[in-house]
Copies of this chain bind each other. A is one copy, B any other.
Amino acid sequence: MITYDPNRDWLRDIRHLGSSWTLVRIARGVLLVGLYASALTALILRFDLEGGRSISGTFSLLGVILGIIMVFRTNTAYERWWEGRKQWGTLVNHSRTLALQLDSLLPPEALDDRSAFARLLGDFALALSGHLRGAVDPSILDRLRADHATDPDDPDPLRGGDGRPVPRAEPPSHVPTLVAGEIIARLQDLRRRGVLDGFDLLATRPHSHGLLDVVGACDRIRRTPIPFSYSVFIKSFILSYAAILPVGLVPEYGYLAVPLVMLIVFALLGLELMAEEIEEPFGLDCNDLPTDTLARSIAADVAGLLRCSSPRSRPAAPKAYSKVF
């Protein structure tokens, strides 16, 4: 995500225009349409094809309808983006709450339990961030497996149902759920060992189960884009509108139609491209949510709140924006 200080320095903000990939795409699209409109205008004026009829009224009607549709598009895309942000906020809250609650419940000397939960909560956030981008850091699975290597009685969470260990080449598909399962199992284990009683466990449940709700909600946003019909409908509408707009404006405005077409296309195409950018908020687009940063900050927070040193310094992954221009 491009972090910026919404500090009202208009000129500075507009100067940074080039640093946003989507804004560059919009500019390209508008220029392309400008070229097309210039060519078409030249053609019409040269061969006197205008026919003397002004049809800009109907184009206004179409433009207003298209504008109304684009706001529907923008609203739904923005809601997805904002809901994605809210889910990550909920994850921060659940992680902190679990950490503070465990801190108050565990005796200060239970360093093993403390560091285990700190590690698991941090790994959960990192696994979720990776899962939503299609690539989970394999060391998370390793750490999960290592836990069980030292505890031979406990069934391995990474085994399938038939008892064979899952080979490394075929990793379980849903790592965040496995980590959350380990957290739930360890909380239950604390009760079995008498560290927590029924009331304590009951109080941690909404937060440990809440982790699964966050995974589910993020998966839902990622996997369900706006229905295909709408996506194609809007693109077709904008394209055909832009294609015949010069025809409609040239008779009345002559060459002045070119900048006007560009400004109208800027408005409509801009809304569409920005909506595309934010409707899938967990990727690596410039305006996508900084899930990786959030996950790292959760891991550090949780370790601090549970009073154990952060388990290992995790080097930040090199920024791999998938969209380069």
Contact = CB atoms under 8 A, between A and B. Distances in A.
A232 B61 contact: no
A301 interface: yes
Interface in A48-74: 51, 53, 55-72, 74
A65 B249 CA distance: 17
A194 interface: no
Nearest to A153: B108
Contacts of A233: 23, 26, 270, 274
Contacts of A97: 209, 212-213
Given A61-B64, A259-B244, A239 B209 contact: no
Given A68-B68, A160-B304, A20 B228 contact: yes
A161 B302 CA distance: 11
Dominant secondary structure at the A interface: helix
B263 A62 contact: yes
A6 B279 contact: yes
Interface stretch (A124-132, A142-150, A199-207): A199-207
A103 B4 contact: no
B232 A17 contact: yes
B232 A20 contact: yes
A217 interface: yes
Contact of A93 (B159, B172, B212): B212
A212 B96 contact: yes
Contacts of A271: 69
A250 to B, nearest CB: 11
A44 interface: no
B201 A198 contact: no
A270 B227 CA distance: 13
A278 to B, nearest CB: 5
Contact of A8 (B230, B268, B276): B276
Contacts of A217: 89, 93
A177 B53 contact: no
Contact of A201 (B17, B199, B207, B309): B199
A216 B61 contact: no
A112 interface: no
11 contacts: A10-B239, A13-B235, A23-B229, A53-B253, A57-B57, A63-B64, A159-B307, A161-B304, A161-B307, A207-B209, A230-B274
Interface of A: 1-2, 4, 6, 8, 10, 13-14, 16-17, 20, 22-23, 26, 51, 53, 55-72, 74-76, 78, 81-82, 85-86, 89-90, 92-93, 96-97, 100-101, 103-105, 108, 155, 159-162, 172, 174, 177, 180-181, 184-185, 187-189, 197-203, 205, 207, 209, 212-213, 215-217, 219-220, 224-233, 235-237, 239-241, 244, 249, 252-254, 256, 259-260, 263-264, 266-268, 270-271, 273-274, 276-280, 286-287, 289, 301, 303-310
Q: Which 6 A-B pairs have the closest CB atoms?
A: A198-B199, A161-B309, A104-B188, A93-B216, A89-B220, A65-B67
